[in-house]
A and B are shown apart, each in its own frame.
Chain A
Amino acid sequence: MTENLDKLLDHEYDGIRELDNDLPNWWLWLFYLTIAWGVIYFVYYHVIEVGYLQVDEYRQEMDPNYVRVSSENPKFVGLLAEYHSPLFDPSGDMTPRKAILAGPQEAFVEASRESDTVVYVALTDEASIAGGQGIYSKNCVSCHGALGEGGIGPNLTDQYWLHGADMTSIIKSIKYGYPAKGMISWRGFLKTDQVLQVGSYVMTLKGTNPPNGKAPQGELVEE
């Protein structure tokens, strides 16, 4: 190292000289180290396949007890074709007309809705109603209006209901939604007690008759 220390080389370019210094040792080691790390990384994940790649990582995140079965994970497949969420079903043809006609697929949502057999009862205590009102004003007003008068979504204050007027139906509408008609599922957004609160609040809107109410939709429900 010292041999070449700051020795000027015999060339110059437009007055620029160069020294003949060696590569700094620490720099060389850094380079070797990163190369070694790269080789180990690649071997770990792709040759001996010990490390979990992203789909396995994901499955493990969803299910802490998940253990990879090696046959499931052939080499170099990219994101796996075999793993699908419950919403997935590969079939169908290629004509766009079909794609237009094929409505949104609610089979999965329907199945969940059907299997949910709990009967819900509206909460009536003040705190719950107030809580429900808060949730409503944050999440629901853009479609159902500030007073439940309707807008993009239907009027919640009249006697006409598309999917049932009882507490259980309303809770299911909130929980699972009617995605085809624009009512999203709030399962992921609201906790169970929040769903109950906002459902209870919606029950209190019936018959309040706010201004600019949207025209009735659905069936008349006499209570």
Chain B
Amino acid sequence: MAIETFNYDNRIVRDFGVATMVWGLVGMLVGLLAALQMFLPELNFGIPYTTFSRIRPIHTNAVIFAFVGNAMFMAMYYSLQRLCKAPMFSALLSKIHFWGWQLIIVAAAVTLASGITVSKEYAELEWPIDIAIAIVWIVFGINMFGTIFKRRERHMYVAVWFYIATWVTITLLHVVNSIELPVSFLKSYPVYAGLQDALVQWWYGHNAVAFFLTTPYLGMMYYFLPKAADRPIFSYRLSIVHFWALIFIYIWAGPHHLLYSSLPDWAQSLGTVFSIMLIAPSWGGMLNGLLTLRGAWDKLRTSYVLKFMVVAVTAYGMATFEGPMLSIKGVNALSHFTDWTIAHVHVGALGWNGFLTFGILYWLIPRIFRTKLYSDRMANAHFWIGFLGIIVYALPLYFAGITQGLMWKQFTPEGFLLYPNFLETVIQILPMYIIRAVGGFMFLVGAILCAINLFKTMKQGELLALEAAEAPALEDNPDDHVGSKEPSQWHRWLERKPVQFLLLTTVAVAIGGIIEIVPTFIIKSNIPTIASVKPYTPLELEGRDVYVAEGCYTCHSQMIRPFRSETERYGEYSKAGEFVYDHPFQWGSKRTGPDLHRIGKKYPDAWHYSHMMEPTSMSPGSIMPRYPWLAENKIDLQLTPAKIRAMQTLGVPYAEGYDQEAVDHLLFQARSITDGLRNSGIELADDAELTALIAYLQRLGTDIKAIPQPTTTETAVSDGM
């Protein structure tokens, strides 16, 4: 048996590690800024680029795809080489992957700050960046599978299974959810509308959590935890069962983001039951992690690496229990749209992803730099301030979420809403927002300590760029386990067959999505149409694009749930048929402000104008930022006909050739608004973004109220009363 010598590429690991820390700090800093704006909206510095509704997507994207993404690649490139006893398939592809990913992150930050967004959460990036992501992701896939194919280890270890599942599922999710029809270089419309768009989006959004934040991290746990603890994995069989159960069941749970929405009940119920069934498979990972530490718990006293990892795995266990609980409709009725969700995801993000990342960094960086960590004390300090930071972050948000959820639902004995003014429920929880920001700040301080510590470590050591290793060549003997009495013999076979493994994984993750999504496309009764729901006028369509670009959905939902407390507050509950022309859907996921689905015609145009210019003038105490630039910015009328044509392509029934009349109609409607405003002493340009936005807001949710109009009806244009 020939012993072969080769080199592990540590440079790419280092590169991704540095990127992890840099983007991690950026993402957390932006998060802190967003948290501060929740009670000090003027901290947007009066400019659009730093306003909450634009930086919230920057924060989420930076943390998910830049911080966690780079950390995942760092850990994968380190562990995959060693688990396969082979260097990466191609150093060039590694480089392309690294720099491609960083460029995408920069492009994401720039475009999102500029209001260039599709507005689908965690998939906000516009179509050219989506394509770039797909290309870089495929480069990564080729590199990964190339490495697996030329491995010198007969079987693939459980970590590699999780990496494979990650790759194939993210590919599916990203491609399906990002299908858009470009209107221009930086503007596109999703091909799905309304309910379908919502369903596809949350199939994606939920499984981005599953397959970007969970499966790669489970794989990382399976490598780095036993390494750091120097203990064997508790149960190989548990690995097998929980792996397959996890990836099969996870996919189905997406609709739990749309409970009590216009989504058909059967899909909601699937979301609920599969979320509950997900508890055990998720805990399987936690158990295998924690029980691996049996006999090594004493090491926790001295090992900051293990401390980080144990908190991470515990946070994973808590979050994956809480998630299913939040998927029970009765709980969701209270928690949805509140800060409870924000607390939940941060237990996952700060605890599971953050702490596992830190643990791995502290373990890995000294190793590849052939030195000890610069300061153990700093690492311990980081652990405690970060740990406390998570608690100080999450607890007040739980309190805030439950408080506000209850206030929304509270009726007086006479049958009135006790808090009819939404703002009251916001002001009530502002102190919680302040404490939360303190928690976030503490976590950031810990991360800064980590960055300094790692930087000093790198400086005192020297990167072992190419780490020599040797292993016997893999002999071509696929039958070496035949005859074994192991019950999981078939799985041993599968572990030798990456292609079959990939195919089986693909099948496992495809089933749930197909069963849930396809019926809404082919069975018409899932979306009962409403005849009075008409396409948006050109001006409203432009206004909708402004709504999307500014990120209004980050604070306002457009989904009135069928609860008395919501129909009393907002009006008739939302129907699936009302969203059939919504590319993309704007149902939102959080109500920092009130729902807007029935805002149309509720207030005069002048109210909206004044409110956008200075929200507190109309709602004293409001924490909504000012949007004065909307009055200055002009909509691009050149693009309007193309937008109409794009909508026609997507099936919106504008009359043939309507694109040519669109601008005339737009200006006609705009003048009716600006004339009305002039009566109230307000001058606004016909083609101002704000004019379009007002038109859109005034249209929202009004179609179902329409009754047939005799053609002679006078135009009831708001005349300022």
What is A's interface to B at a CB cutoff of 8 Å?
8-9, 11, 13-24, 27-28, 30-31, 34-35, 37-39, 41-42, 45-46, 53-55, 57-58, 61-62, 76-81, 84-85, 87-105, 107-108, 139, 142-143, 152-154, 162, 178-184, 188-191, 217
Are B707 and A76 in contact, CB atoms less than 8 angstroms apart? no
The segment from B92-100, B116-124, B227-235, B452-460 found at the interface with A is: B227-235
B699: min CB distance to chain A, Å:
7
Are A99 and B534 in contact, CB atoms less than 8 angstroms apart? yes
* A94 partner residues in chain B, CB cutoff 8 A: 534-535, 653, 655
Contact A188-B233, Cβ < 8 Å, known A38-B273, A92-B534 = no
* B680 partner residues in chain A, CB cutoff 8 A: 152
Are B562 and A104 in contact, CB atoms less than 8 angstroms apart? no
A52: min CB distance to chain B, Å:
10
* B233 partner residues in chain A, CB cutoff 8 A: 16-19
Are B287 and A27 in contact, CB atoms less than 8 angstroms apart? yes
Are B287 and A76 in contact, CB atoms less than 8 angstroms apart? no
A interface footprint on B702-721 (CB within 8 Å = 1, 0 otherwise): 11111111000111111111
Query: CA separation between A89 and B262, bound complex, in Å?
Result: 19
* B272 partner residues in chain A, CB cutoff 8 A: 41
* B236 partner residues in chain A, CB cutoff 8 A: 9, 18-21
> Does B367 sit at the interface, judged by CB under 8 A?
no
Query: CA separation between A100 and B707, bound complex, in Å?
Result: 14
> Does B410 sit at the interface, judged by CB under 8 A?
no
- Closest chain B residue, CB of each to CB of A184: B602
A21-B234, A79-B575, A143-B607 known; 6 new pairs, CB 8 Å cut-off, are A14-B85, A15-B227, A21-B291, A79-B528, A81-B577, A100-B537
> Does B610 sit at the interface, judged by CB under 8 A?
yes
Q: CB within 8 A of A45: which of B265, B412, B573, B715?
A: B265
Query: CA separation between A103 and B713, bound complex, in Å?
Result: 9
Query: CA separation between A181 and B679, bound complex, in Å?
Result: 13
* B235 partner residues in chain A, CB cutoff 8 A: 18-23
Contact A90-B530, Cβ < 8 Å, known A13-B153, A61-B564 = yes
* B610 partner residues in chain A, CB cutoff 8 A: 142, 152
A interface footprint on B631-673 (CB within 8 Å = 1, 0 otherwise): 0000000000000000000000111001000000100110010
B89: min CB distance to chain A, Å:
18
Q: CB within 8 A of A78: which of B262, B532, B672, B715?
A: B262
- Closest chain B residue, CB of each to CB of A32: B280
Contact A13-B606, Cβ < 8 Å, known A81-B528, A99-B534 = no
A interface footprint on B511-548 (CB within 8 Å = 1, 0 otherwise): 00000000000010111111110111110000000000
B452: min CB distance to chain A, Å:
30
The segment from B59-67, B105-113, B237-245, B385-393 found at the interface with A is: B237-245
Are A89 and B532 in contact, CB atoms less than 8 angstroms apart? yes
| Top 8 A-B residue pairs of the complex, sorted by shortest distance between their CB atoms | A182-B604, A103-B716, A78-B264, A38-B273, A31-B280, A81-B528, A58-B562, A17-B232
> Does B372 sit at the interface, judged by CB under 8 A?
no
- Give residues of chain B (53-109) contacting chain A, Cβ–Cβ below 8 Å: 79, 82-83, 85
B543: min CB distance to chain A, Å:
13
* B525 partner residues in chain A, CB cutoff 8 A: 76-78
Are B531 and A91 in contact, CB atoms less than 8 angstroms apart? yes
- Closest chain A residue, CB of each to CB of B695: A100
Query: CA separation between A194 and B604, bound complex, in Å?
Result: 24
Query: CA separation between A87 and B529, bound complex, in Å?
Result: 17
Are A142 and B618 in contact, CB atoms less than 8 angstroms apart? yes
A123: min CB distance to chain B, Å:
19
> Does B182 sit at the interface, judged by CB under 8 A?
no
Are B421 and A38 in contact, CB atoms less than 8 angstroms apart? no
Query: CA separation between A45 and B273, bound complex, in Å?
Result: 11
* B281 partner residues in chain A, CB cutoff 8 A: 31
Contact A104-B716, Cβ < 8 Å, known A38-B273, A46-B269 = yes
Are B601 and A96 in contact, CB atoms less than 8 angstroms apart? no
> Does B576 sit at the interface, judged by CB under 8 A?
yes
- Give residues of chain B (265-318) contacting chain A, Cβ–Cβ below 8 Å: 265-266, 268-270, 272-274, 276-277, 279-281, 283-284, 287, 291
Q: CB within 8 A of A101: which of B265, B658, B713, B720?
A: B713
Contact A80-B535, Cβ < 8 Å, known A19-B232, A35-B277, A38-B273 = no
* B706 partner residues in chain A, CB cutoff 8 A: 89, 91-92, 102, 105
Are A92 and B708 in contact, CB atoms less than 8 angstroms apart? yes
* A18 partner residues in chain B, CB cutoff 8 A: 232-233, 235-236, 239
* A154 partner residues in chain B, CB cutoff 8 A: 721
Query: CA separation between A127 and B702, bound complex, in Å?
Result: 40
Are B83 and A78 in contact, CB atoms less than 8 angstroms apart? no
A146: min CB distance to chain B, Å:
11
Contact A188-B568, Cβ < 8 Å, known A30-B279, A143-B607 = yes
Query: CA separation between A180 and B705, bound complex, in Å?
Result: 13
Are A91 and B265 in contact, CB atoms less than 8 angstroms apart? no
* B603 partner residues in chain A, CB cutoff 8 A: 182, 184
Query: CA separation between A58 and B274, bound complex, in Å?
Result: 24
A interface footprint on B565-585 (CB within 8 Å = 1, 0 otherwise): 001110111011100000000
* B594 partner residues in chain A, CB cutoff 8 A: none
Are B232 and A79 in contact, CB atoms less than 8 angstroms apart? no
Are A180 and B601 in contact, CB atoms less than 8 angstroms apart? yes
- Closest chain B residue, CB of each to CB of A105: B705
Q: Identify 14 residue pairs between A and B in the complex whose beta-carbon atoms are under 8 Å apart, listed by A's number.
A: A27-B280, A34-B280, A41-B269, A46-B269, A91-B532, A94-B534, A95-B655, A105-B707, A142-B619, A143-B604, A152-B607, A162-B721, A182-B607, A189-B417
B390: min CB distance to chain A, Å:
26
Query: CA separation between A11 and B236, bound complex, in Å?
Result: 11
Are B707 and A107 in contact, CB atoms less than 8 angstroms apart? yes
- Give residues of chain B (342-379) contacting chain A, Cβ–Cβ below 8 Å: none
Query: CA separation between A61 and B411, bound complex, in Å?
Result: 13
Are B416 and A42 in contact, CB atoms less than 8 angstroms apart? no
A26: min CB distance to chain B, Å:
10
Q: CB within 8 A of B527: which of A57, A78, A99, A103?
A: A78
B657: min CB distance to chain A, Å:
13
- Closest chain A residue, CB of each to CB of B698: A104
Are B234 and A46 in contact, CB atoms less than 8 angstroms apart? no
Query: CA separation between A188 and B570, bound complex, in Å?
Result: 10
* A217 partner residues in chain B, CB cutoff 8 A: 721
Q: CB within 8 A of B665: which of A100, A153, A189?
A: A100
Query: CA separation between A217 and B721, bound complex, in Å?
Result: 8
Query: CA separation between A24 and B234, bound complex, in Å?
Result: 11
* B241 partner residues in chain A, CB cutoff 8 A: 23
* A16 partner residues in chain B, CB cutoff 8 A: 157, 223, 226-227, 232-233
Are B531 and A38 in contact, CB atoms less than 8 angstroms apart? no
Are A104 and B702 in contact, CB atoms less than 8 angstroms apart? yes
- Closest chain B residue, CB of each to CB of A17: B232
- Closest chain A residue, CB of each to CB of B471: A14
> Does B500 sit at the interface, judged by CB under 8 A?
no
- Closest chain A residue, CB of each to CB of B719: A181
Are A79 and B262 in contact, CB atoms less than 8 angstroms apart? yes
Are A24 and B601 in contact, CB atoms less than 8 angstroms apart? no
- Closest chain B residue, CB of each to CB of A76: B266
Are A182 and B262 in contact, CB atoms less than 8 angstroms apart? no
Q: CB within 8 A of A97: which of B291, B536, B665?
A: B665
Q: CB within 8 A of A96: which of B227, B238, B262, B535?
A: B535
Q: Which of B245, B564, B576, B604 has the most chain A CB within a 10 Å cutoff?
A: B604
Q: CB within 8 A of B601: which of A46, A80, A104?
A: A104
B31: min CB distance to chain A, Å:
33
Query: CA separation between A9 and B234, bound complex, in Å?
Result: 11
Contact A54-B604, Cβ < 8 Å, known A18-B239, A31-B280 = no
* B260 partner residues in chain A, CB cutoff 8 A: 54
